[in-house]
Structure 1
């Protein structure tokens, strides 16, 4: 309700294509939330729709939800530990624990999804026309790998600290996209990067799951700037699970005590003065 001193008729409208509400209904994406969406639209479909402002096709939704599942939880990662330790410190603030975990989404964890999507999108935009054959895709990918190596940069999405022989999530994403007929240029280029990594780097590196998720999201039409948001959306479910487990079977205090009780003072290195 407007402030009594403000003339409601003089206020310019704030446009939105998302949600509005009145005394009698809530509308979301142009639909009645209670009657048309609740119980009829999955959370994954709604998340896609809220960002893309269009409903996904069934194949798109299957790929999108597979990406969310792939990114949800990877065990005791730094983001999970941050959430658990924050909950230990402030158990009255579950939002603080969730936020602590999400704030750790960066270049080593979760951010690879965005970094890979951006790298692929930039590379494709730099080229006139798409490669036609697998050989052309490989030649294009090899030139990118060699350019990045010469500049001392890594190719995002290549390599994994644990899955040296291949990330188990990667072929699933490729298979779903192929089965649904929605493999696009980002996934095609990412696959080519995997095929040429040994020629370009001198050792074969696997395509990691975070990277293939970025390629898939880019093929679904999402711009690079929003891709990390989907990784964080997926990880929110994982963090909630981690916090719930911390409530049932806590480990955070043990981690804290082990580090604290084994802390050993050392003199700082001499600065030569």
Structure 2
């Protein structure tokens, strides 16, 4: 909200960064003297969003999430970044932006979708959540949750993976890291329970995917659910930079383009030929 000084000069309050001719202030601290070389980037990212300095356990879980989401190979976001760079090698920012814009409901967006889904359930039962050790209680809540979603023909975010059909290797590791650091809260416990009970409703067993467990972990850190996709994009930015660096060293963008272009065939829209 804009404020005004006594002389009518507009002021724009911020709790983030400001600067003058001699110094830069960030989060109320001198950037050069108090933060550089003393605060890691993951810690700073959490601090910027929450406006409180995170504890070491928060940082360990958060950085594990960033590592889990950084890169998954030639996903559509990575291919888009490489092909945009092929078309406009003078625009690294355009290539990065193109890849990030592809973060949606199928890729990267699951982190936010799962976190928000779990958050809605947790927020609806603030006084009736099971104790941490009450696995049966969490299973009952999860079973009710999955049944309602199934009856409403809604998918349960975080279930299933196009490659990891039995187990996503990231999921048990992040659960262990959260447990070891005292950050395994109601969102992760509910997500675990969903993994145990969903076959009773769906009639098949699906893995809890890494994007979903990352969303649950971020929600347990108290981060705004409306920003969870932003953290997934923060992680993926590092991966896309890696793809750009590799594209410079050993380009494949032209091969991808030519493979599609040279194998394109006209298809009669009527289906007659």
Report the TM range for the smaller structure's normalisation: over 0.9
Offset of residue 12 of structure 1: 2.4
Aligned counterpart, 1:19? 17
Describe the SS at the equivalent of 1:20.
strand
Aligned counterpart, 1:218? 219
Describe the SS at the equivalent of 1:34.
helix
The number of aligned residues is: 264
Aligned counterpart, 1:104? 102
Aligned counterpart, 1:123? 121
Distance (Å, rounded) in 1 between the aligned partners of 2:152 and 2:75: 30
Distance (Å, rounded) in 1 between the aligned partners of 2:12 and 2:97: 29
Higher mean alpha-carbon deviation, 23-32 vs 125-134, is at 125-134
Describe the SS at the equivalent of 1:121.
helix
Distance (Å, rounded) in 1 between the aligned partners of 2:107 and 2:9: 44
Offset of residue 55 of structure 1: 1.0
Aligned counterpart, 2:166? 165
1:10 aligns with 2:23: no
Aligned counterpart, 1:152? 153
Offset of residue 143 of structure 1: 1.1
Higher mean alpha-carbon deviation, 180-189 vs 111-120, is at 180-189
Aligned counterpart, 1:79? 77
Distance (Å, rounded) in 1 between the aligned partners of 2:265 and 2:10: 62
Change (3 A) 1:243 1:8: farther
Higher mean alpha-carbon deviation, 66-75 vs 131-140, is at 131-140
Distance (Å, rounded) in 2 between the aligned partners of 1:79 and 1:9: 50
* 1:113-160 per-position Cα deviation (integer Å, ceiling 9, x unaligned): 000000000111222421232111101101111111122111000111
Distance (Å, rounded) in 1 between the aligned partners of 2:89 and 2:6: 43
Offset of residue 200 of structure 1: 1.8
Aligned counterpart, 1:260? 261
Describe the SS at the equivalent of 2:11.
coil
* 1:71-117 per-position Cα deviation (integer Å, ceiling 9, x unaligned): 00000000000000000000000000000000000000000000000
Distance (Å, rounded) in 1 between the aligned partners of 2:259 and 2:165: 30
**Counterparts of 1:40-59 in structure 2 under 5 Å?**
40-59=38-57
Offset of residue 235 of structure 1: 0.2
Instruction: Compute the TM-score of the two structures, normalised by the length of structure 1.
Output: 0.94
Aligned counterpart, 1:175? 176
Offset of residue 269 of structure 1: 2.4
Aligned counterpart, 2:112? 114
Distance (Å, rounded) in 2 between the aligned partners of 1:203 and 1:22: 61
Q: What are the ranges of 5 or more consecutive residues in structure 2 without an aligned counterpart?
A: none
Describe the SS at the equivalent of 1:27.
strand
Describe the SS at the equivalent of 1:10.
coil
Distance (Å, rounded) in 2 between the aligned partners of 1:207 and 1:217: 16
**Counterparts of 1:202-241 in structure 2 under 5 Å?**
202-241=203-242
Q: What are the ranges of 5 or more consecutive residues in structure 1 without an aligned counterpart?
A: 1-6
Offset of residue 172 of structure 1: 0.9
Offset of residue 8 of structure 1: 9.9
Aligned counterpart, 1:4? none
